[in-house]
Structure 1
Amino acid sequence: MTDSSAAPLRGGAVGIVTATLAVAAHGMAGGGWADGSALALLIVVSIGIGAMTALPERSTVLLLPALMAGQLLAHIALSLGAAEMHNHSLLPSTAMIAFHAAASVIAGLMIAAAERLYGPITSIVRAVLALLTPLPDGSAVGRVSMSVAVPSVDGTALDWVISRRGPPVSVY
């Protein structure tokens, strides 16, 4: 079971990893480096995949399928966006499938490990910070108290503040 407070971090990591690994695996397999509209499509795909995996009720079981789907959609986005620099179709080659799949598996393992370690690491950090920065004592000397002047009951003290002017009267 994973910590539900780590879900937004998981979504952000999946989105960033989808874009980064897609560009790296795509370039390593001979697909070229993306620019312009290919990057815009890639950003849209990465945000969508990241948002789908950021939901708290999703578990890490869907992490690898989401990364794989993100790689496939990112490949299609990179192929569509930069068609003039590609010599291949929308279907990836065997080498490209291998690079995308290997990158997805490694990234999925790393994200799952980071998510499982999120709770223990943050509890240790909170405990250390609590020791280093204790809360201030409420009975500290030098506290300042303030008093506010109360206007008189009949309202004469603030009589000069109230404006008697209203909006102009219509002539019609």
Structure 2
Amino acid sequence: MKNLILAVPCCFFLLQSCKKEDSQKDHVELIKENATTTKASYKNGKLVSSEVYDKSGQLDSKYLYQNGTVIKIYQYFPDQKVSSYSYLTKAPNHYITTIYYKNGKTASEGEGDYYKDQNLYLRRGEWIFYSKSGEPYSVYGFMHDGKKQYIKREIIFDTIKKKTLKDVNFDPPFLYEKETVKSLKPVNSK
């Protein structure tokens, strides 16, 4: 009977410590850096999502993770409509991305590589660009060297006459300096 009396409190303390460990596995961290605040959510001790808020408290971007890898990226306009959506197609860093106008129509779409350690997204392959009314007006072929992106092909369409106005291959490709994809700020997984 004495052993039973000692066993019950021991079991109670053991169960309480297990609950405490479980609550530490599922938690949310707030990380403040410069002008942003990141809300990182953990489940079973693993990072599953993070949300980045700008200095005014507006949601800027959201990242979903699987086994420490960013699998989906959402970026937002100030009115909280999605400005771009990217999803992982080939680990560790190959994504398909769609960028939107504020009216919700697709502005451009294509593929690219996201280098998490450099916080850098570089386009690759063919990207289609659309007018605000939804008509495709150009296709650009991109390539990159892991640091900068280059244009290797340009196709321009006449959206009224529905014909190709220009189709040029560039050899050598030229540096593409205009950047439309915002810089990314995911949380490094633990």
TM-score above 0.5: no
Query: Over alpha carbons, which structure has the higher Rg?
Result: 1
* Higher RCO, 1 vs 2 (CA within 8 Å, ≥6 residues apart): 1
Larger helix fraction of residues: 1
Larger strand fraction of residues: 2
